[in-house]
A and B are shown apart, each in its own frame.
Chain A
Amino acid sequence: MSSQDIDRNEYYRSLKRNIFLIVILVSYIPLIVVSSGILYQMHAIHQEKTRIHLETLVKKHKWNIDHFLRERQDNISFIADSYRFDELADSARLAELFRKLQTTYGHVFSDIGVVRADGTQVSYVGPYLLESAQYNDAEWFQEAFQADTYTSDVFLGLRGFPHFIVTARKYKDGQPWILRATVDFLAFNDVVENIQLGQTGFAHIINRAGALQTRTAGRPVSTESAYLALFQKANQFSPDQIQSGTRQAADGTDLIYVAGLLKENQWALVFQQDLKDAYRDLNRTRNIAILVFGLGGIAIFTMAVVLSKGMITRIAAADREKEIMNQQIIESGHLVSLGELAAGIAHEINNPVAIMVEEAGWIEDLLEEETFHESENLTEFKRALTQIRKQGIRARDITHKLLSFARRSDSIIDRVDVNDLIREVVSLSAQQARYNNVEFESRLDEDLPAIQVSQTELQQVLFNLINNAIDAMDKRGGVIHVASWSNGDQVLFHVKDNGPGIPEANLHRIFEPFFTTKPVGKGTGLGLSICYGIIKKMGGEIKVESRVGEGTVFEINIPIDVRGATGAEPPAPVAKHAP
């Protein structure tokens, strides 16, 4: 491989790389920008939607729970308002009322009791043995006696089971007493646990101390204190306001939380969910989008590889064609300039050759004089002079052929039947062919249209090609195949021999004037140049194919309508005539 080929391959490789990179960049950048934008927007919208949905949900439940608590409070207040202390202190009466409560509201209340200001429960209805129980030391007791109505936090109390109570304070003879009822913890939990979303989304209630007021169904509520800030911000928000945000759990899980304050800002209803769980749909959509974009990316990559490869193949083919065309232009330019040069030389040579021949003739004339008759070298003089004249004539023939090549010879355009011309030339060459043991084979298209060309010129072309073929075979013999055919626009013929063929190195030079491989004196090297000139003038083409050891074929095509091509006179030669 030559260094030029290596450079070219390097050039194509770099071009291929550049095309590949451009395709990748031009395709990937918009793809990445657009898909990132879409994903970002999708993410933002979905997050917003999720947040709004959760806020709505929490708001509704907050209302439900608030309503539930208020209703319980109202139940107890209503009874306290409707009955006197004595009536309620009667356990049988209280049991009747408790039954009515359960009938009306289900098992929302688990027990009910009346407590005096000294902390003694004077009557009690419920599953525990709490009659005459002392609540003096209970935390809720103090607070309950300070307000008309009161709802406690969840506590274990005497029964050792989480519960909370609602109370209503009344007076008898100036002494306060309270009606207290325990809200069924499970019933309350049901209200709260209604909010369940996905696999990890659940709601719970905490008090201002961060203590859980509901169950968490085994779900970790790692840092309740994380939500204490909700209470600190309470005065900044309206009671109905919902707060939301994200935080990180102790185990590193990202959580989304939505919270609302309950029970006059004493409790907070908190809904929390793993972010991954909350955004499960989003993530699934994102994964599908990434998959689609990934497949698109692979398609683009494949296309970039195929495209760059295909383009390089085409560019390389175009470059090759361009190179061949350039070579042909250079070669034809070379032939034209050589032709013009040859014509100039021919003009310049004819005059001195004429003088030489005349001078030789003059010496011959003088030798005829008697005084030279006895010269012993007379015969030799005469031979030399004959040779001078003969070579002069040969020089003239060469110059005339040169002029033919330079298209300076006259020609008459006529209707020519190529088949007739082939037959004529073959028969004229038959003698020489026999001498060289060459046989002719012909396959002529009998429907060949006539063409408008100079018969003598075309004859000369055929003569040159056939004589060259005969010469090529030497005396070893062979076959010359002559064929004619037409493709509608052109008449074509070929002269094919099975001689030794033309080496590739010589093939592109055979149409150059004076290029010959024949021995000195046997060929002028002008035959094919003349053929080339004539066929070009006719607007046709002459092509050669040859394989060493197999033979050579000259194929000629001539347009059927060549009047335009032959109508114009060739330009005059550049060379100046000698004085």
Chain B
Amino acid sequence: MIPSEETDIRLLLVDDEEAFVNVLTKRLAKRRVTVTPAYNGTEALQRLRRGDFDVAVLDLKMEGMDGIEVLKILEKMAPELPVIMLTGHGCQISAREALAHGAFDYLSKPYDFEALLQKIREAHQSIRRSP
């Protein structure tokens, strides 16, 4: 059995690559991360209104509303929610912009799964530690 943390982490996963979202949801679920998938920016905001999340993972480049735009809204809607940005093209300039808008961290696709898991946990820990 894959080792896991004591409590489940509620994760909002936003990416327009459906296959990616599906496999990542399954893998994270095995590690006690409950994933709520959203396939575009609008859907992500709807999900956020309906439920509470500990961490969000947000793809940078999406059709329609892109990751930076969603992030800017999240910054206002849920300033305490840590957001990990995923980028499909290793462009550090966009990643930096994301950090400037309050993103917790960023990873370039394809990333190492363990590294992502580690970042999700760190993000979760950060809200637990914060008052």
Contact = CB atoms under 8 A, between A and B. Distances in A.
Interface in A349-387: 350-351, 353-359, 361-362, 365, 368
A353 B90 contact: no
B113 A351 contact: no
Contact of A396 (B61, B63, B108): B108
Given A351-B20, A408-B91, A358 B108 contact: no
For the complex of A and B, list the 6 residue pairs with the smallest distance between their C-beta atoms, beginning with the closest.
A410-B92, A354-B110, A354-B109, A350-B88, A347-B89, A358-B23
A354 B30 CA distance: 19
Contacts, number: 84
B1 A368 contact: yes
Interface in A330-358: 343, 346-347, 350-351, 353-358
Interface residues of A, number: 29
B27 A579 contact: no
Contact of A355 (B20, B26, B89, B90): B20
A56 interface: no
A410 B93 contact: yes
Interface of B: 1-2, 16-17, 19-20, 23-24, 26-27, 30, 61-63, 88-93, 96, 108-113
Contacts of A393: 110, 112
A392 B16 CA distance: 20
Grouping DSSP codes into helix (H, G, I), strand (E, B) and loop, the B interface class, with mixed when no group exceeds half, is loop
Given A365-B2, A579-B63, A354 B91 contact: no
A362 B111 contact: no
> Residue among B1, B63, B91 with the most chain A CB within 10 A?
B91
Nearest to A403: B90
Nearest to A408: B91
Contact of A361 (B89, B92, B113): B113
Contacts of A346: 89-90
Interface of A: 343, 346-347, 350-351, 353-359, 361-362, 365, 368, 392-393, 395-396, 399-400, 403, 408-410, 577-579
Nearest to A358: B23
Contact of B19 (A355, A361, A392): A355
Given A359-B23, A579-B16, A395 B110 contact: yes
A395 B92 CA distance: 18
B110 A365 contact: no
Nearest to B90: A400
